[in-house]
Amino acid sequence: MLNPNELKALISLRDDDDPEIRLHVEQKIRELKQSAKLLMETDWRSVLQADEQQYIEEMMHQAHFEELLNAFRNWQNEDCDLITGLWLIARYEYPDIQLATLQNTIQQLYVEAWLSFKPDMHPIDQVREFNHIFFTRFRFTSNTTNFTAVSNSMFNQVLETRKGNPISLCVAYMLIARKLGMPIYGINMPNLFILMYRLDENSSFYINAFNRGRIYSRKDIESYLHQLQLPLLSSFYEPCENIDIIRRMLRNLIVSFDKLGKIAKVKEVKQLLAAISPEESQ
C-alpha cells in the first residue's frame, strides 16, 4: 500500500518519455483499485493536485470497468441468475454495492409479504392481495415524473426509493412473488415490459406492475399489439429469459445517459451490452 507521498511520486512519472514507465504507472494505479477503500481513508487528496486526482480516479475507474466487463461475460456463460445481473448493472454506478445487499432486501420483503399471504387463494385473488402488499404496504410506485432516470435501472436504488420504470418494477414484483410460490414471469413486449401469471401451458393472464398491478387478458394484449400495428408474435405472450431482462435494462440505461449527454457513459454501457449481446457491438 502506497502512502500519499509515494503515490504522488508515482503519478509524477505518468508523462515520462519512456512508454514502459508510463505503462508501469498505469498498472500500479489500477492495482490500487483492489484497496480503494484504504486509499480513500488516507489524506492523498490533500497531497495531489487536481489533475493528479483526476488521473488516479480515471485509472481506477478504468480498472473497475474492465473488471465489470469481464463479470458480464462470465455471467452470460454461467447461469444468468437474474439478481446477479441486476447487481452487475448497479455496480456500474455503485462499485461497492454488494450482491448480498440486494438479496437480503428481497428476502426481507418476501418475509414481510409471507406473513399475510395465503397461497391457497384463487390466482386472481392472489394477485390482488399481492398488489395490496406491494403497492400499498411496501409503497412501490411508478416513477412517472422522471421516466428515463438512471436510478430506474439501478436495482439498489429501486429497492431503496421504491420507485422504478416498467421493467424494474416488474422485476421487483416478480422476484418477491416467485418466492411466495406465484408462477410469474417477465414478458418482453414492445414499448412495455409486463408480467404473466401462468395458470398452465394454455392459460395465462397478464399483470402491469407500472399500472399498480392491473390485470389483462390475452385479448387485451392482442388489442395493444394491434394498436401498435405489430404482428402477434408468440414471443409477446411467452416468458422471456433473464438475459433478455438484463439486455433491456442496459438499453434503458443507454437512453438515460444519452438524454443526460453523458457520451462516455453511453459508450461504456454499450460495451457492457455487447458483452452479453455480440450482435449489438456496432
pLDDT, one tens digit per residue, over 77-131 is 888 999 999 999 999 999 989 999 999 999 999 999 999 898 889 999 999 999 9
- Binned at pLDDT 50, 70 and 90, residue 38 comes out as very low
Residue 157 has pLDDT above 80, yes or no: yes
Which has more confidence, 230 or 8? 230
**Per-residue DSSP letter, 137:** I
| Cβ 117 vs Cβ 130: under 8 Å | yes
Closest by Cα among 138, 147, 218 to 177: 138
132-156 burial code (b ≥16 CB/10 A, e <16): ebbbeebebebbeeeebbbbbbbbb
CA distance 98 to 96: 6
| Cβ 253 vs Cβ 267: under 8 Å | no
Going by DSSP bridges, is the β-strand pair 141-142/184-189 parallel, antiparallel, or unpaired?
unpaired
Put simply, whether the predicted model's pTM sits higher than 0.85 gets the answer no
The pLDDT assigned to 265 comes to 97
What digits encode the pLDDT tens for the residues 206-258?
999 999 999 999 899 889 888 888 887 777 888 999 999 999 999 999 999 99
